[in-house]
Structure 1
Amino acid sequence: MPATDTSTQVYKELRKMTEKMAKEYGLNLEIPPKSFKEMKGEFLEIEPKKILVRFPYDARFATPIGVFQGGMLCTALDNTYGPLSYITAKKPCVTTDLSTQFFRSFGPKDEYIEIEAKVIAKSPVMLTMQAEVRNPKKKLIATSTTSMLILQDSMLKRMTSRQEED
């Protein structure tokens, strides 16, 4: 499926959830979040329990020696896990743990990275996912695992009252 079709499909799913959260809980979700837009993420593939996202190299997120900062790579991972968690759980989720192992740097010559994330396990309250980060030559840059809490009705209702206070 071409990336534009994939992006349309992902945004359609996320928009449905946004509308549902607004209707059922009065929550105003910003999807995709500002960080995804700032990093210029692009959805390439979506399947049940799997997503592929591309992020271009951006010197604004580089260390003094010109390689992508590890923390920003973790942000790219979180920006990949987030849409997959929403689509899988059909509710907002929050990261409770994110572990990343780095194997090689991501620099300007790479141009971009692709992150493939998969759902490993899902319970009524938790999601466990793993991801691989690869450069255009398919060389492994990093691996990651995450646990996410699926927000339950009582949590979502409390969030509504917090949004009203702000």
Structure 2
Amino acid sequence: DTLVQVNRAKEQGELRKPLKVKFAGEEGVDEGGVQKEFFQLLVRELFNSDYGMFVYDETSRLHWFRASHMDSDTEFELVGILIGLAIYNAHILEFSFPLVLYKKLMGAKPTFEDLTELYPEVASSLRKLMLMTAEEVEACCLTFQVRGTVGHTCTTV
């Protein structure tokens, strides 16, 4: 329901109006507490792994975009608008993105250190592989899957 309402507000150019939240079937005046609860519930739902838009890494304690959900630009745009609304209405949201997200928004290229921040175990394994000789890598009998950017097909190399 929220994403539909936000999309409607976006289409009507009403995103900069004061946000008023009212829960169905509940009485009350929104003096900030209802907004806060709204954003807390919303973040809990949107960042829940069952919803499927984001993955959470237990080691880094950071969220990232679920690759299988990347075809849904509209939903991600609406989530971005909701995050913007929270900031605009002075609410702190309880989730964490890695620094690389903000670097990407600024046009900077990601680095290996960015991978290390988001997925420390993957980065550690890759670092070990990079230090191996070609013979050592061959002896490991490893295969890798790389997701292509065209058609989102998986190719095993």
Q: Say which one has the larger Rg.
A: 2
TM-score of the alignment, normalized to the shorter chain, above 0.5: no
Provide the TM-score with structure 2 as the length reference: 0.25
Flag the structure with more relative contact order, 1 or 2, with Cα contacts below 8 A and sequence separation at least 6.
1
Q: Which one has the bigger helix percentage?
A: 2
Q: Which one has the bigger strand percentage?
A: 1
